[in-house]
């Protein structure tokens, strides 16, 4: 998550100082991504350096609000208009783990799949429980964030189901087996070789 773009988006609502930005960020993300105030100030000073925000005079409480510059406003418009690329996200550790499990001697791949599925399913149950607790219309942004996590977890369970089904049909390649005796079901496994 880009804190930089998060803060720019919040400043689009109007000038705010550090603590206001932090609580507005947490309100709009349902406290899914807590920020510490240090991160907020560091980010603000970088945004100022890049000409995306500018500081305003301190208020009576000694707090300094920031406002968006035209450049900052353009930056946030581009951010909202640009899809997030999957390649910008961290590598999928789980997929790598399963790929390695398949080729590492002595590893029970089905057990790896089942352990992960149980854990992901539990996460999904927990997310659903959180959702049932937020029924107020004002909770919409929070519910949408939970839904994002729900759909991601669901996709993972489906993928794990798919892995389990592929494993049932999978015949590890035997070195003595002559070529040409491959069964059709081996097509799925082919990708792993």
Partner 1 sequence: MILELRGVHRTHGTGETAVHALRGVDLGVVAGELVAVMGPSGSGKSTLLNLAGGLDSPSKGEVAVEGEVLGRLNRRQLARLRRRHVGYVFQDLNLLASLTAVENVALPLELDGLAVRKARKLAAAALDEVALGDLGPRFPDEMSGGQQQRVAIARALVGDRRLVLADEPTGALDSQTGEAVLRLLRARVDAGAAGVLVTHEARHAAWADRVVFLRDGVVVDTSGPLTEPEHLLGAPA
Binding residue for partner 1, selected from 124, 163, 166, 189, defined by CB under 8 A = 124
By CB under 8 A, residue 40 contacts partner 1: no
Judged by CB under 8 A, the residue of 10, 11, 21, 35 near partner 1 is 35
Nearest distance from residue 18's CB to partner 1, in Å?
17
Backbone angles phi, psi at 54, to 5 degrees: -135, 140
Only one of the segments 57-65, 73-81, 86-94, 145-153 lies at the binding site for partner 1 (rule: CB under 8 A); that segment is 145-153
Does the protein bind partner 1 through residue 42 (CB under 8 A)? no
Among 66, 76, 117, 166, binds partner 1 (CB under 8 A): 117
3-state SS of the chain? Answer: CCHHHHHHHHHCCCCECHHHHHHHHHHHCCCCCCCCHHHHHHHHHHHHHCCCEEECCCCCCCCCCEEECHHHHHHHHHHHHCCCCHHHCCCCHHHHHHHHHHHCCCCCHHHHHHHHHHHHHHHHHHHHHHHHCCCCHHHHHHHHHHHHHHHHHHHHHHHHHHHHHHHHHCCCCCCCCCCCCCCCCHHHHHCCC
Q: How many degrees, rounded to 5, is the angle at CA 174 between CA 172 and CA 178?
A: 130
CB of 70 to partner 1, least distance (A): 27
* Cβ contact 124:150 at 8 Å: yes
Considering only 56, 94, 101, 130, the residue that binds partner 1 (CB under 8 A) is 130
Member of 12, 13, 23, 31 binding partner 1 (CB under 8 A): 31
Q: Is 33 in the site for partner 1 (CB under 8 A)?
A: yes
The answer to whether 134 contacts partner 1 (rule: CB under 8 A) is no
94 binds partner 1 (CB under 8 A): no
185 scored as a contact of partner 1 (CB under 8 A): no
Q: Which of 50, 58, 161, 187 binds partner 1 (CB under 8 A)?
A: 161
Rounded Cα–Cα distance for residues 55 and 52 (Å): 10
Per CB under 8 A, residues contacting partner 1 are 1, 3, 30-35, 114, 117-119, 121-130, 132, 149-151, 153-154, 157-158, 161, 164-165, 168
């Amino acid at each position: 998550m880009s804190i930089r773009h998060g803060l720019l988006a919040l400043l689009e609502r109007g000038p705010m100082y550090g603590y206001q930005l932090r609580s507005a960020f947490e309100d709009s993300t349902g406290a899914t991504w807590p920020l510490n105030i240090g991160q907020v100030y560091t980010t603000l000073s970088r945004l100022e350096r890049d000409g995306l925000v500018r500081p305003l005079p301190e208020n009576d409480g000694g707090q300094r609000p920031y406002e968006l510059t035209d450049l900052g406003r353009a930056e946030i418009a581009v951010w909202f208009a640009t899809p997030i690329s999957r390649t910008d996200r961290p590598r999928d550790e789980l997929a790598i783990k399963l790929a390695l499990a398949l080729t590492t001697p002595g590893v029970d791949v089905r057990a790896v799949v089942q352990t992960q599925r149980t854990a992901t399913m539990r996460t999904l149950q927990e997310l659903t429980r959180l959702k049932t607790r937020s029924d107020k219309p004002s909770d919409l942004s929070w519910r949408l964030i939970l839904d994002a996590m729900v759909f991601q977890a669901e996709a993972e369970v489906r993928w794990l189901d798919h892995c389990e089904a592929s494993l049932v049909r999978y015949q590890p390649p035997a070195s003595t087996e002559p070529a040409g005796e491959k069964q059709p079901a081996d097509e799925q496994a082919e990708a792993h070789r």
